[in-house]
Every structure is written in structure tokens, then in C-alpha cells.
Structure 1
Amino acid sequence: MTIPPGPGLPSGLVIPGTELVERFSRSPGPGGQSVNTTDSRVELAWDPATSATAADALTEVQRARLLARAAGPITVVAHEHRSQHRNRTAARERLAARVRELLAPPPPPRRATRPTRGSTERRLDAKRRRGQTKQLRGRVDD
């Protein structure tokens, strides 16, 4: 299985088929002909902790990020197609997207900003006007 380059994975990644665990079962959903006879649902799992490919192809930072974000094996399920072959392809695409997502670097930290002087003055002016409006609704002194 080939994972194309993306954020956090500049050179891509190739996972051999021997490290992938596929399980097949009956797909849920409405009936019809051949219902409960074909095992078209695919569950695909890859464990980066025991993977020799992840140890060789990934840097230490990438490997640590992947292991920290994925607690255990990465598992995806595909059962939207009627054929097992199309579900296997969909599951492999989902696994590739999930690995790219887990390897993506975290977003930059938020930089704290201060409100501008004009926006602060406008906010306080609006509060004053609102207070005056409410004060005019009060009781009348004789």
C-alpha cells in the first residue's frame, strides 16, 4: 500500500501488504439478492508500533507523533460498496488518509492579540449609550 506525500510526510510511505490485517464480514444494510451470502465488509488494520516499515521509513519525530496520536492499531472499515474488491480499495484509501492525518504537524500556536484602541472606544461608547437609554426609562423624580 502506498501513501502519497503530504503534510508531515514529505516523501510518502509504502506499507507492505504483510503488515496489513484484513478481515471480512457480512455488510449491514438493506436486503436483496445475495444478502447474507457475501462477505463484502472490509476491516483493515495496521499497527505502527510493531511495523518495521514505520521504524525504517519514518523519522523519530514522525514515529513518536504517530505512536502518540494512534493509541494502538489504526483500524478503518469500509462497507458502502457491494463488492469486496471496491471495499478493499476504499479501506486502503481511508487508511492512507488516516495515517497522513496522524502524521500532520500540529498547527502553529495561537498568538495572543490585543483589541485596537478604536474598537475599545467604540465598545465603551456603545455601553454608555445603552446605559443612558436604560436610565431614561427609570422613575421620574419630582
Structure 2
Amino acid sequence: MDSEASMEHLLECMLLDPSAEPTNLPISLLKAITNDFTDHRKIGGGGFADVYKGVLQNGTVIAVKKLFNTRDTDEEKFIKEVGCLIMAKHKNIVQFLGYCSDTQGKILNHEGKMIQAEERQRLLCFEFLPKGSLDKYITGTFPFD
């Protein structure tokens, strides 16, 4: 079993065990399960992130929140956010499955000069709610079945 398959299996097991500890997930896995974050997998978005449907090999679906890269992206804030999500466990709170903090060096042409820049990707993974977000029910913008 390769490492991506074993990480997928771990995610499947975590969904069955609400007490499971969230884990660091490789960017390669998150790209694979979201088809490299294609638009047809995008299920939502907001002021600071887009949310994608991640489909594991067995058909299990998870939500992958890809945070926007901004100049003021603060590593310390991301670490605090992950820490809070890890501690927030309750039957009425969507289960936090894991996170990814990936930084890669890229060579880019900037105003005629070749420079090296860092590309950061910060992602958060949650159990998928097939009927949408609770805020739609609270605000009355989602029809009840």
C-alpha cells in the first residue's frame, strides 16, 4: 500500500472514530482527491478560502478548505487555528480531519528578472456535510426536506 493509499485509509477510519486525532496530510493526496482543485469540485467559498469536494478511492467524500494566499498570511495564526480545531470536538461540530501546510520554492520572471519565490498552500480538511452548511438552515436560504 503506497503512502497516499494509507493516508486515504486513515481518513476513512477517522470518519468512523470521532475521537481520532487530526493529522498532517500531504499536498499530493489533497490534489489527487480534488482533481487538483478543479472548478467542478468546488463546492463553496468565502472571503478567505475556497472549499472543494475531496473524493477518496472508496467513494467517501471529505471537504477540503484551501485558504487563499495573501501577503499577510501569518504562520502563527494558521498554527493557532489548527490548534483550536484539534481541540474542538463535539457531536454537534463538524469533525476536523487534518491539515496541510506546504511551501515550495518557485523560479519566476518578475519584471524581467528571474527570482525565487515561495508558494505557500494552507489547507484544512473536514467531514463532508452532504446537505450543506448549517448557516443555510438558520438564515432560511435552504429548503427543508
* More strand as a share of residues: 2
Establish whether TM, by shorter chain, passes 0.5: no
* More helix as a share of residues: 1
Name the TM tier (shorter chain): under 0.3
